[in-house]
Amino acid sequence: MNGAEQAAAAARKQDIRSRWLLSAPALLIIFVAAVGPLFVMLLYSFMVKGDYGDVKLGEFSLEGWTSVFFQRDIFDDTLGLADAHLSIIWRSIQLSFFTTVLTVILGFPTAYFIATRPPHTREIWVFLVTIPFWTNLLIRTFAMQQVIRNEGLLNNALMWLGVIKSPLQIMYTDTANLLGMTYVYLPLMVLPLYASIEKLDFRLVEAGYDLYATRFQVLRRIVIPLVRPGIVAGSILVFIPSLGAYVIPRVLGGGKNMMLGNLIEMQFGSGRNWPLGAAMSITLMVLVTVALIFYVRNASRGGAGHV
């Protein structure tokens, strides 16, 4: 190695070092803000719970983790499955899944409608879709409550039309949760769907009709496969916050129809079981990650031929 090469290598090293130094503040913030709290959660999940909340630092226990899925019988001290927790986790997954399905069913025609408007009116429609974001989630949830409560808009309208005689009990049921989440998360489905339908080459739709496809066949065999990336992106955006939803089940679902988010909050609040809460949070994160991996795999497989 001659002198010039050595100098060049040294300069390169210097360059790399200064790049690291320059990005250090950003990396530090990311580490402290994102990885730090996660690490604290992980640590707390392995501690003994404190008597009035908090944890006894330094006293290790697996109690927090085992009580996510199992519970000790108060009489004979044997371990059994924690039915309450599992049913809440299962309900969360189910409700999130159906929310995703409902938002696709409602969001697809909406996005298709917007994407097929003339270019200058599309922007207005997209703008209208984003209007709910201007309002706080809590307010929107209470608005939903006004619609579905016993003396609410929906029941009054149905009774006035004579469809029902006594009000439907929607509040404090899973249906209330489902309606609330569908309403709140619908824009998150419409926007990515719109983005991918807008890019759709409508000459392909014409080609489909030309080759004897019916409307439904064009939708199933041409449009849906081609906008699949949008469906996947929208599903991720809806499914993940649904799984961790807290405000909506709290307001609309009441105490009986808790979701995972409420269960976790309870452990940190009245439950005074921080290790359990921490373990549940990490469980939720794992669920979300698994769902993400599943979706992304699915997307890359289906979208391989799509340009």
Q: Which residues bind another protein (CB under 8 A)?
A: 201, 203-204, 206-214, 217, 221-222, 225-226, 304-307
Q: How far is the CB of 244 from another protein (least distance, A)?
A: 33
C-beta of 54 vs 201, nearer to another protein: 201
Q: How far is the CB of 117 from another protein (least distance, A)?
A: 17
Helix, strand, or coil (residue 151): coil
In Å, how far from its chain's centre is CA 287?
11
66: closest CA among 269, 285, 288, 273?
273
C-beta of 58 vs 305, nearer to another protein: 305
Q: How far is the CB of 214 from another protein (least distance, A)?
A: 6
200/9 Cα distance (integer angstroms): 49
Q: How far is the CB of 206 from another protein (least distance, A)?
A: 6
Phi-psi category of residue 268: left, alpha or beta, with phi > 0 → left and psi -120 to 50 → alpha: alpha
Find out whether 92 and 262 touch, Cβ atoms under 8 Å: no
C-beta of 167 vs 302, nearer to another protein: 302
What distance, in Å, lies between the first and last C-alpha atoms of the chain? 47
C-beta of 17 vs 220, nearer to another protein: 220
Burial tier of 98 (Cβ tally within 10 Å: 0-12, 13-18, 19+): middle
C-beta of 208 vs 277, nearer to another protein: 208
176: closest CA among 139, 209, 147, 133?
147
C-beta of 193 vs 258, nearer to another protein: 193
Q: How far is the CB of 213 from another protein (least distance, A)?
A: 5
Residue 156 one-letter amino acid? N
Which residues contact residue 140 at a Cβ distance below 8 angstroms, ignoring those fewer than 6 apart?
132, 183, 184
In Å, how far from its chain's centre is CA 115?
25
User: What is the rounded (10 degree) CA torsion for 192, 197, 199, 204?
Assistant: 160
Q: How far is the CB of 225 from another protein (least distance, A)?
A: 5
Q: How far is the CB of 112 from another protein (least distance, A)?
A: 18
C-beta of 50 vs 303, nearer to another protein: 303
C-beta of 121 vs 217, nearer to another protein: 217
Please report, for residues 152, 156, 166, 263, 268, the alpha-carbon distance to residue 160 in angstroms, rounded to integers and kept in the order given.
12, 6, 11, 39, 45
Q: How far is the CB of 217 from another protein (least distance, A)?
A: 6
